[in-house]
Homo-oligomer: A and B are copies of this chain.
Amino acid sequence: MTVRTENAEEYLEAIFKLQHSGGTVTVKRLAAELGLTSPSVSEMVHRLRAAGLVERRGRRGRGRGIRLTEAGLAEGAALVRRHRLSERFLVDYLDMPWDVVHEEACKLEHALSPEVEARLAEQLGNPLTCPHGHAIPGEDGSLPDERLQALTDLRPGDAAVIGCIAEEEGDLLRYLASLGLLPDTPIAVESVAPFNGPLLVRVGDAQYALGREVTDRIMVRH
């Protein structure tokens, strides 16, 4: 049962995230998430199952698909926790820009022991979210399920607070940072142009016109 490799960890993390984003975890979805082919994923899922980290429910009904076992859940949560703590570390301690930390954290997450993870969390002040606003699982693997909605789905006049950005890296993040559209920022929709046009939003004293590509990725709460 040599399934504590870095590769296996990637799978567990991906399954954990898919499982928590709701919906059924299938081989196909996993393959898409990981950028691999279905047979490769199918094979690894068998290994993970043999190792007792994953189980398959019948293929019909609600609870179908791939599920993490108790052990797998703990592993997956720990990986996500380490990933997001790493991002916080890179931003808070090393002053790195938030649009590059995801990739760096992908490597770091596999290099943190529970001990280092715990001390890092403490040094960082036990943060609750990553720089993009995603919740950091607790040491017990718990993850609050906030119900966020895309900014796109607000109506004119609605006010909200940015919860997280559904994008881990790239130009979009740089753009948002340049506008000050960061997690926990209050934002209000002033108008919505028809035919899938831009949203006119207010942030503090500023007003911006944001396209759907952007507003789809800004997740807000009330």
A residues at B contact (CB < 8 Å): 90, 93-96, 100, 104, 107-108, 110-113, 115-116, 119-120, 123
Pairs A-B, 9 closest by C-beta atoms? A111-B111, A107-B111, A94-B119, A108-B111, A104-B116, A104-B113, A94-B123, A93-B123, A94-B120
Copies of chain A in the complex:
2
The A interface is mostly helix, strand or loop, or mixed, namely helix
Among A96, A107, A111, A113, residue most surrounded by chain B Cβ atoms (within 10 Å): A111
State the Cβ distance, A92 to closest chain B Cβ, in Å: 11
Beyond A93-B93, A95-B119, A104-B115, list 9 extra A-B contacts (CB 8 Å). A93-B123, A94-B119, A96-B116, A96-B119, A100-B115, A104-B113, A104-B116, A108-B108, A108-B112
A115 touches B93 (CB 8 A): no
